[in-house]
Amino acid sequence: MAEETRKHNQAEGVGIFMLKAQIFQSLLLFMCVSSILMLYSALGGIFVASLGASGFILFATPHTNSSQSRNLAGGYLCGTAAGILSSLLYNQVTGLTFPGSEYALVFICAAAPASAMLLMTSTNLIHPPAAAFALGLSIEPYPIQTTIAAVVGVITLCLIRAVLSKYLKNLI
């Protein structure tokens, strides 16, 4: 009976510890995303939604491959390359009328995350939200401004993770 009580108390301690880590890391994500959004607002309202998913990965699973700074920055580099190429092509095709032109735009947009995935997997720089970033860039009229905003966000996330890494726990 004493052994069962000890195991139960240990499990409760782990549960409380995990709850504290979940609250702490969720608040860190809130503060980080708030800071980035305030910065974006000052830059003219540019919004990079994929950074919310990147922040989730960094703060929910900080000690996995996908949350390492190398993969975060490299993944966004791959996503940027694929997204800007798709954006350039999208902007060339937009406004043209030819049989199937509406499908051409769909295929151009779909090629962005597929190309980003190909680049990330071939370079081993895996960060899934960067594929979403590529898709967002593909329809962006000013991809360079959005890319600059993303770079600022990625650097911010990498710095915060580097400073707080020893305090962060994998939550899942």
Domain count, the chain: 1
Task: Give pTM, 2 decimals.
Answer: 0.82
Distance (Å, rounded) from C-alpha 51 to C-alpha 11? 34
- What confidence tens digit (pLDDT) does each residue in 83-142 have? 999 999 988 887 777 787 778 889 999 999 999 999 999 999 999 999 999 999 988 877
Alpha carbon 147 to its chain centroid, in Å, reads 13
- Identify whether 65 is part of a domain: yes
- Identify whether 72 is part of a domain: yes
- Identify whether 133 is part of a domain: yes
Q: Which two tokens stand for residue 11?
A: 């499990």
- What confidence tens digit (pLDDT) does each residue in 34-55 have? 888 887 777 665 668 899 999 9
- Identify whether 141 is part of a domain: yes
- Identify whether 172 is part of a domain: no
| pLDDT interval class at 8 (50, 70, 90) | very low
Distance (Å, rounded) from C-alpha 94 to C-alpha 85? 14
Burial 62-99 (b: 16+ CB within 10 A, else e): beeebbbbebbbbbbbbbbbbbbbbbebbeeeeeeeee
